[in-house]
Amino acid sequence: MRHPFFAILLAALAATAFGVRAEDLPAPSVDDKAPVVRGSVEPDSIGIGDRFVYSIEVDKDLVQGVFFPSFGGDGSEPYSLIEEMPVDTLKRDGRRMTLRKRYLLGAFEEGIHRVVPQVMYADKNIVDTLYGADTLDLLVTTFQIDSTSHSIFDIKPQKTLPFRVGEITGYVKWVIAALLVIAALAYALRRVLAHYGRSLRDMFRPAPPQPPHVVAFAALEKLRAERLWQQEKHKQYYSALTDILRTYLVGQFGIGAMEMTSDEIIEAVSGVDLPQKSSMDLTQILREADLVKFAKAVPDAEENEAAYRAAWDFVEQTKPEEPEAEEGAAEDGKPAAAPTTPTLPATPAAPAGTDAAEGTDREPAAGDSTADRAVVEPGGPNEDTNAKQSEL
């Protein structure tokens, strides 16, 4: 890579290569061992804008260093560099060798340009500029404009050509073909959707939002699958559990629980008609979550499972009642299926005799009548008796 000082100096030498005569240059120092510089221009007469080849040849010793000039770049020269060819080794005789550097240039100014071949010479502690013995002349001619025999006319206005149908015929064919393909695809899609009882409008309608309790059940199942407290992530576990309940309260009862503290949520829920056990479960979950999140309490496995069951029971007991299917309501001759409710996964069965509000079975009380617990089977004798009583 060339030294920056050498690059600047070579560019300056190239800028003075044209327009300088050999007799105007300072007399070079006498050194028999210094390289010999020669140059040539082919052709020596060109028209303006034409190209010419400028060649520099140097006879030097093997250990001597020479740097050829660089042309073009700032736009101040009367020529421009078209192509810079690599350095060629013309001949070599022992320690002596001949190098040649060629440039393809273009001239854009009329006149006679003086070309002086020059290179930079470096040997040990010597840095000098070597010039060729001869000055090369480059004649650049231009063409003459005969303004006397030709008149200058103004720019002609734009001419409007008549419209031709053939100009758009090809485009119309492709447009019609594309429309037919789109229509065929739309018809096929409509038939497929009609087979499943849907229409094209259903594809652009937003899906109806799911009920809050369905969203809560799905979030609880996802939380259980993450197994956070099993990985000693108790704070993340209770934060996610309370966030699920807060989101459920917002969607189900319109309580802004996401921006409330635990005490504010308990106070707000007290004004809602809820089962007493549900209110107690919610209070217990929020209190335990505060201890874990702020007091760094570490509950055991039974307490974590109990908090999860309490959250599930709270959603189960406070969700809106599903409408009962009317008797005789059927579609395509089949009875309508009763909606199913998600069940708490892996909930152990409690012993008989516990209260029904805790989500477990209890023994039938002694005062319960057999008629209240009887099941009327379709087609049985009880149905006939009821039918006769209704006729009377």
Buried b (16+ CB within 10 A) or exposed e, 213-239: bebbbebbeebeeeebbeeeebbbbbe
What tokens does 371 get?
């008629």
The answer to whether 10 and 3 have CB atoms below 8 angstroms apart is no
Say what the pLDDT of residue 242 is. Answer: 93
Q: Which helix (H) or strand (E) holds 241?
A: helix 234-253
CA 390/CA 69 separation, integer angstroms: 121
Q: Count of residues for the chain? A: 392
CA 213/CA 216 separation, integer angstroms: 5
The answer to whether 10 and 73 have CB atoms below 8 angstroms apart is no
In the chain, what is the straight-line distance between the N-terminal and C-terminal CA atoms, in Å? 118
Tell me which residue has tokens 């087609």.
Answer: 379
Query: Coil, strand or helix: which one is 164?
Result: coil
CA 390/CA 298 separation, integer angstroms: 63
Q: Which helix (H) or strand (E) holds 300?
A: none
CATH number, span 4-141 = 2.60.40.10
pLDDT, tens digit only, all 392 positions of the chain:
445 444 445 555 555 555 555 455 555 544 567 888 989 889 888 888 889 898 999 998 888 888 888 876 555 667 788 888 898 888 888 888 999 999 898 888 888 888 888 888 887 777 888 888 888 888 888 877 776 777 778 898 888 888 888 888 889 999 999 999 999 999 999 889 888 888 777 777 777 888 999 999 999 999 999 999 999 999 999 999 999 999 999 998 888 888 899 999 999 988 888 888 888 999 999 999 999 999 988 999 999 999 999 999 999 998 888 765 444 444 444 444 444 556 666 544 443 333 433 433 444 444 443 334 333 444 444 444 444 444 43
Say what the pLDDT of residue 354 is. Answer: 38
Say what the pLDDT of residue 219 is. Answer: 93
CA 105/CA 56 separation, integer angstroms: 13
Say what the pLDDT of residue 350 is. Answer: 40
Distance of CA 361 to the CA centre of its chain: 57
The answer to whether 244 and 217 have CB atoms below 8 angstroms apart is no
Residue type, 315: V
Say what the pLDDT of residue 13 is. Answer: 54
Domain ranges of the chain: 4-141, 167-203, 212-318
Query: Coil, strand or helix: which one is 80?
Result: strand
